C-alpha cells in the first residue's frame, strides 16, 4: 500500500520537471512513510512513497525488471496488494525459468515483480489474472509505451491529467494539482461534477471537481504514448446472471459461498507485518474477523463509536470479539474531536465525500495504526450479496407496477403537493417512477427544487442519469435487485464506500484490505437469484445461511445498522450548530451557492421543522473543501507521519 506519482512528458524530461515530481510526492507522504524513491529516463519520471507490507527488506520501488535480453526493460510503480502473487510467481517460474541463465525470473520475494513479469508474458490480459487491489504503472523503455491499470472494483485510486506538457498520474489528486502548470492545464472547477456531488454526495467516476483531472475508472487499463491522450479499455464488468437454485442444491451453494470467503480471507492475511481487523456490530466485518482468527489467534479488532445512545455498536462488537476470542479496542469519538478533524479529513479526501461515517472511520484507523499496519474490513458484502434495505424497495413498490401509467403519473403529481417531510410523500413519488428514474444509489440528497434554491447556476439537464444511464444499459433484462446491485458497484461503492476506506486509512498510513471484494467471491455472488438476497424479513439471505457456524448467533440475523452518526442532533445543538454557522459565514462560495438559503436551511433544521442534516452536511463539506483547495484560506495541520517500518 503506497502512493505513486508519475509524469510522461510530451518531449524530454527537463530537470525542473523531475524536481517538481519529487516535491509533489511530499503531499502524499502519508500513503508511504517507510521510504521514498524516484526514477526517470529521458521521457518518464516515476515517484513513489512506500508502505512496506510484503518483502519489507526488498521490493523497493520504482522497480526495474526485464526478460533475459534486457533485465531492466520495464519500470514499475504499484500501489496495492496482489493476493495470488505466490501462485503467479510459481506459474511464471515453471513456464519461463529455463529462459534465464541462472534459472531465476525474480530477484525479490514480493508481488511487484509478479505484475511486471505477468505483463511481459501475457500482455494487458495479465490484469485479468491479478487477484487483489491495485493501481499501477508500467513503463516499457523499448516500446516507449506507458501502461496504467486499476483493480476490478476500484479499491485503489488512480488520477490522470493530460495536457500539452504530457500526462501525469498519481494515487492522489492533490499531487497532480501541483503539476498542472507543467502540464499546461488550469485548476478550474467542473460545474457539472459539482452538481453531481450535491445530488449523489460524492463525485462520480471518472469525474473530479477539477475539470482537467479525471480518474481511471475501476476495472480499466490505459495505454499512453508521448504526445497522445490515454487510450482506455474496460477489462472487467460484473454480470449478475442468475444460476437458479435447483432442488436440493441450496446447501452446496451456501458451502460455495463459505469456501470462497474462507479462501479470500486466507489470501488477504498474507503479509510480513501484523494484520488486524475492523469490527462493527454487523455480519460483514464479523465474518471477516472470525475467519481471520483461524490464521491469527492473536487477532486485534477495532471499532469506534459515539457516546450518544442509539449511535453505537460498541457493545455488540465487544460481545462479538469475546465470542470469537479476539482482543478488542474501542475508540469513542467526541463531538469536539469530530468537528476539529473535519478540515484535515477533507484535505485527505481530495474531493468532498458527504458521508459523515468517514469521520469515525478516520479515528478508528488512527487508533488501529498504533497496534497494526494492516486491517481487514467488510466493505462490499452489501453490494455483492444484497445487503441494503433499499434493495427491498421493488417488493414494496410492486402495487404501483400494476397501476396504469396515467395513475402512476397522478401519484407523482400528488406527491409534489404534499409538504416536505410528510409521511408517504416519498413512497408516492418513488412509486410513480420506473427503476432507472428513481434509483441512483444509496445516497439521496437534493431534489431539483432544493437544488434550485441553493445553487447559483442550476442546470436541470445535468441529472443523475448522466451517471446512471450507461450503467443501467449494461443490465437490461436482469431482475431489479441485480440491477440495483450492479449500479451500486459502479456508483456508491467506488464513489463513497471505497474512497472513504482508502483515504481514511491511508491518512494514517494503514493498509485496509476488503476480502469480500474478491473476484472469486464475486463469482459465487453473481449467480444468486433475488430471493436468495432479499426476502420480506431480511437481507443477504444466502450469505447469512453460508456463515452459520462462522458468525456468532447474536450477529448472524441482526439487522443492518450501518455506521450511524448523530449528525441530525449535533447540527441542532451546541455540538455543531455554531461550527456550521461559522463555516457558512466564512466560506467564499457566494458565486456558487446561495448562502442565505443555506443559513435558512440550518435554522429550519435547528427548530425541527425539516431534517436537513444530510443536505447541510453535503454543503458544509463542500465549503470546507473549497476553503482548502480553491480559496487556500483553510490550511489543515498535516503532521509528518512517523511510524516504524514494520509492526
**Residue 562: predicted pLDDT:** 64
Of 453 and 430, the structure prediction assigns the larger pLDDT to 453
Q: Which of 1, 2, 346, 514 is catalytic?
A: 2
Given a cut of 80, whether residue 1 has pLDDT beyond it is: no
Tell me the pLDDT tens digit for each residue of 115-158.
Answer: 999 999 999 999 999 999 999 999 999 999 999 999 999 999 99
Strand, coil or helix: what is 539?
A: strand
**Active site includes 2?**
yes
CA angle, 557 as apex, 554 and 562 as ends, to 5°? 95
CB 151 within 8 A of CB 218: yes
Work out the average pLDDT over 578-595: 97
159: helix, coil or strand? Answer: strand
Give the integer Cα–Cα distance in Å for 198 and 593: 11
Of the listed ranges 48-62, 493-507, 514-528, 600-614, the least confidently predicted one is: 48-62
The answer to whether 206 and 217 are in contact (CB under 8 A) is yes
455 secondary structure, DSSP code: B
Contact 571, 279 (CB under 8 A): no
Mean pLDDT of 515-520: 98
Q: What is the pLDDT of residue 644?
A: 61
Task: Give the DSSP H/E element, type plus range, for residue 513.
Answer: strand 511-513
**Confidence tier at 645 by pLDDT (50, 70, 90):** low
SS (H, E, C) 99-145: HCCCCCCCCCCCCHHHHHHHHHHHHHHHHHHCCEEEEEEEEECCCCE
Is pLDDT of 232 > 60?
Answer: yes
Strand ranges across the sheet with 275-278: 327-332, 300-305, 275-278, 374-376, 511-513
Which band of pLDDT confidence, cut at 50, 70 and 90, is reported for residue 561? low
pLDDT at 646: 57
Average pLDDT along the chain: 93
Q: Which stretches within 166-247 are classed as H helix?
A: 173-177, 180-183, 191-200
Instruction: Give the SS3 label for residue 181.
Output: helix
Q: With a cut of 70, say whether residue 256 has pLDDT above it.
A: yes
Hey, what's the cell of 157? 485510486
| Domain at 2-234, CATH homologous superfamily | Aminohydrolase, N-terminal nucleophile (Ntn) domain (3.60.20.10)
pLDDT, residue 559, reads 77
* Cα distance between residue 190 and residue 459, in whole Å: 13
Grid cell of 217 as nine digits: 475508472
Q: How many CB atoms lie within 10 A of CB 639?
A: 8
d(CA 399, CA 401): 5
Give the other-Cβ count within 10 Å of 407's Cβ: 12
Q: Average pLDDT for residues 52-76, to the nearest whole number?
A: 89
Residue 123 has φ and ψ, to the nearest 5°, of: 70, -160
Element (H, E) at 498: helix 498-506
Task: Reply yes or no: is the peptide bond before residue 188 cis, omega within 30 of 0.
Answer: no
Q: How many C-alpha atoms does 614 have within 13 Å on its Cβ side? A: 17
Does the pLDDT at position 314 exceed 80?
Answer: yes
Domains of the chain by residue range: 2-234, 250-339+349-387+490-556, 391-481
Determine phi and psi for 264, rounding to 5 degrees: -65, -45
Angle separating helix axes 283-292 and 250-268, nearest 10 degrees: 60
Angle at 244 between CA 288 and CA 537, to 5 degrees: 60
pLDDT confidence of 605, banded at 50, 70, 90? very high
User: pLDDT tens digits for 525-540?
Assistant: 999 999 999 998 899 9
Residues with Cβ within 8 Å of 25's Cβ and at least 6 positions away in sequence, in order, are 3, 5, 36, 38, 47, 48, 49, 175
Q: Which residue has the higher pLDDT, 243 or 412?
A: 243
CA angle 521, 527, 529 (to 5 degrees): 125
The residue whose grid cell reads 483515504 is 503
The three cell numbers locating residue 525: 455472488
**What confidence tens digit (pLDDT) does each residue in 362-411 have?**
999 999 999 999 999 999 999 999 999 999 999 888 888 778 877 888 87
Q: Does residue 370 sit in helix, strand or coil?
A: coil
Q: Are strands 300-305 and 166-170 parallel, antiparallel or unpaired?
A: unpaired
Contacts of 632 (CB under 8 A, 6+ apart): none
pLDDT at position 470 = 96
What is the rounded average pLDDT of the residues 354-368? Answer: 96
Top CATH class, 250-339+349-387+490-556: alpha beta
Is the CA virtual torsion 255, 261, 267, 272 positive or negative?
negative
Q: What CA–CA distance (Å, rounded) separates 148 from 140?
A: 11
CB 622 within 8 A of CB 446: no
Q: Kindly report, residue by residue over 178-188, the tens digit of the pLDDT.
A: 999 999 999 99
Q: Identify the pLDDT of residue 230.
A: 97
Q: What pTM was computed for the model? A: 0.95
Q: How confident is the model at residue 431 (pLDDT cuts 50, 70, 90)?
A: confident
Q: Where are the alpha helices (DSSP H) in 527-594?
A: 541-546, 553-556, 567-570, 577-586
Do the domains at 2-234 and 250-339+349-387+490-556 have one common CATH topology? no
Amino acid at each position: 500500500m503506497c502512493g505513486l506519482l508519475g509524469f510522461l512528458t510530451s518531449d524530454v524530461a527537463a530537470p525542473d520537471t523531475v524536481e517538481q515530481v519529487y516535491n509533489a510526492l511530499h503531499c502524499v507522504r502519508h500513503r508511504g512513510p517507510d521510504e521514498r524513491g524516484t526514477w526517470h529516463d529521458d521521457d518518464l519520471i516515476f515517484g513513489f512513497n512506500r508502505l512496506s507490507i510484503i518483502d519489507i527488506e526488498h521490493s523497493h520501488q520504482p522497480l526495474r525488471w526485464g526478460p533475459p535480453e534486457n533485465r531492466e526493460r520495464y519500470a514499475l510503480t504499484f500501489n496495492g496488494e496482489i493476493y495470488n502473487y505466490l501462485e503467479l510467481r510459481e506459474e511464471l517460474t515453471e513456464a519461463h525459468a529455463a529462459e534465464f541463465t541462472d534459472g531465476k525470473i525474480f530477484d525479490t520475494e514480493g508481488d511487484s515483480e509478479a505484475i511486471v513479469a505477468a505483463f511481459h508474458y501475457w500482455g494487458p490480459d495479465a490484469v485479468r489474472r491479478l487477484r487483489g487491489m491495485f493501481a499501477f504503472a508500467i513503463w516499457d523503455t523499448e516500446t516507449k509505451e506507458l501502461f496504467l491499470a486499476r483493480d476490478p472494483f476500484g479499491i485503489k485510486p488512480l488520477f490522470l491529467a493530460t495536457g500539452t506538457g504530457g500526462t501525469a498520474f498519481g494515487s492522489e489528486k492533490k499531487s497532480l494539482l501541483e503539476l498542472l502548470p507543467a502540464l499546461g492545464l488550469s485548476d478550474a472547477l467542473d460545474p457539472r461534477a459539482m452538481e453531481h456531488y450535491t445530488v449523489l454526495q460524492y463525485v462520480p467516476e471518472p469525474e473530479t471537481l477539477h475539470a482537467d483531472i479525471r480518474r481511471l475508472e475501476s476495472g480499466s487499463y490505459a495505454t499512453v504514448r508521448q504526445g497522445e491522450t490515454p487510450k482506455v479499455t474496460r477489462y472487467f464488468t460484473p454480470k449478475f446472471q442468475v444460476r437458479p437454485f435447483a432442488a436440493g442444491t441450496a446447501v452446496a451453494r451456501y458451502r460455495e459461498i463459505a469456501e470462497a470467503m474462507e479462501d479470500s480471507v486466507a489470501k488477504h492475511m498474507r503479509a510480513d507485518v501484523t494484520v488486524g481487523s475492523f469490527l462493527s456490530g454487523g455480519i460483514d466485518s464479523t465474518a471477516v474477523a472470525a475467519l481471520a482468527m483461524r490464521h491469527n489467534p492473536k487477532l486485534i479488532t477495532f471499532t469506534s463509536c459515539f457516546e450518544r445512545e442509539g449511535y453505537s455498536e460498541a457493545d455488540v462488537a465487544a460481545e462479538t470479539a469475546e465470542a470469537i476470542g479476539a482482543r478488542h479496542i474501542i475508540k469513542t469519538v467526541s463531538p469536539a474531536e469530530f468537528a476539529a478533524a473535519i478540515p484535515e479529513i477533507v484535505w485527505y479526501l481530495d474531493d468532498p465525500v458527504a458521508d459523515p461515517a468517514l469521520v469515525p472511520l478516520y479515528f478508528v484507523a488512527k487508533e488501529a495504526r498504533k497496534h497494526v499496519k494492516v486491517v481487514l474490513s467488510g466493505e462490499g458484502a452489501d453490494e455483492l450479496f444484497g445487503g441494503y434495505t433499499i434493495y427491498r424497495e421493488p417488493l414494496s413498490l410492486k402495487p404501483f407496477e400494476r397501476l396504469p401509467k396515467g395513475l402512476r403519473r397522478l401519484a407523482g403529481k400528488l406527491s409534489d403537493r404534499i409538504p416536505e417531510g410528510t409521511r408517504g410523500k416519498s413512497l408516492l413519488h418513488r412509486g410513480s417512477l420506473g427503476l432507472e428514474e428513481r434509483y441512483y444509489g444509496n445516497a439521496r440528497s437534493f431534489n431539483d427544487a432544493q437544488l434550485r434554491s441553493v445553487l447559483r447556476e442550476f442546470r436541470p439537464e445535468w441529472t443523475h442519469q448522466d451517471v446512471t444511464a450507461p450503467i443501467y444499459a449494461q443490465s437490461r433484462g436482469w431482475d431489479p435487485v441485480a440491477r440495483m446491485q450492479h449500479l451500486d458497484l459502479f456508483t456508491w461503492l467506488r464513489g463513497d464506500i471505497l474512497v472513504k476506506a482508502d483515504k481514511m486509512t491511508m491518512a494514517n498510513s494503514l493498509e485496509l484490505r476488503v476480502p469480500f471484494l474478491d473476484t472469486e467471491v464475486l463469482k459465487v455472488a453473481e449467480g444468486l437469484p433475488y430471493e436468495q438476497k432479499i426476502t420480506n424479513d431480511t437481507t443477504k439471505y444466502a450469505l447469512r445461511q453460508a456463515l452459520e457456524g462462522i458468525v456468532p448467533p447474536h450477529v448472524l440475523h441482526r439487522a443492518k445498522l450501518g455506521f450511524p452518526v448523530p449528525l441530525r442532533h449535533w447540527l441542532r445543538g451546541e455540538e455543531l450548530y455554531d461550527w456550521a454557522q461559522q463555516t457558512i459565514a466564512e466560506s467564499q462560495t457566494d458565486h456558487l451557492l446561495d448562502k442565505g438559503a443555506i443559513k435558512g436551511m440550518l435554522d429550519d433544521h435547528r427548530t425541527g421543522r425539516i431534517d436537513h442534516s444530510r443536505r447541510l452536511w453535503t454543503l458544509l463539506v463542500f465549503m470546507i473543501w473549497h476553503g482548502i483547495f480553491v480559496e487556500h484560506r483553510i490550511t489543515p495541520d498535516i503532521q509528518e507521519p512517523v511510524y516504524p517500518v514494520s509492526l
